[in-house]
Structure 1
Amino acid sequence: MNEEQYSVACLIVGILSCVLCCMCFGLPLGIVGIVLFVLSTRNGHGIDAKAGIGLALSILGFILSIVAAIVIFIGIIVSNDNSYSSYRDNSNPFEYFIEEYGDSLDYDDIDDYQNLPYYFDENEDAKINEL
């Protein structure tokens, strides 16, 4: 590859490192952009505008990726999600539901079925079960 192609590659990688910095992909892409910048300026070739912008974007993406990694790490440490851990620790998930929402599904009385939008016939239910 000649120096012009390295300059274009440096610019593309710099743009990608900035765009993907929130997913921490800017770390390796920033390093690749810096290496491509060095390759584009070898053999006494001057700094091309594309290579200079690519270098700046690569460094910016690298720094933003470090900041994003720190924010993600702090967010993981600070988060205190007790509801999931208490659900996971219960041997019976229904106990967690009753603790959280109360015993709202208790239908011991047959009159509660009268509030349903259809008529419940026990004889019809028995016929269906026989099939």
Structure 2
Amino acid sequence: MPADLVRAVAWHESGWTSNIENCDGGYGLMQVMPDTESFINGRFEKSYDSANYRENAILGANYLAWLTKYFGEKYFGEKYNLSTSKCKTDTSLCLLNLVIAGYNMGHVSVEEAYLDKQLIATDYVVDIRANMRSCYCDRY
């Protein structure tokens, strides 16, 4: 996974706060949801604990990797390039934007929008892409 993507997601999700819990159930650095933790652990036969900040980061990065593989195989001819150069805009239907949106909305919601040829123009995608370009988090 591109480090700038993981860093931007973690910054947006938690401001790099490792013990933050959201009212929706997201926890830690990457705001990993309980169902996502179970899915990733089951998928990769691991037992990562989202309460451990290192393992939380691994869970989040593995989920981004799974989304890349899922969308890349299904819609991009088994191409997995997350380069920003593959996206015309922050809202175009490119792999990077689908992966970012999937992290926030889940792959099913993103897939439905993609199949309807709708732009994935969420504030979340725009914010993550902006943080990938230039982020206050780079000062740490």
- The structure where helix makes up a greater share of residues is 1
The answer to which structure, 1 or 2, has the higher relative contact order (CA under 8 A, 6+ apart) is 1
Larger radius of gyration: 1
Taking structure 1 as the reference length, what is the TM-score of the superposition? 0.25
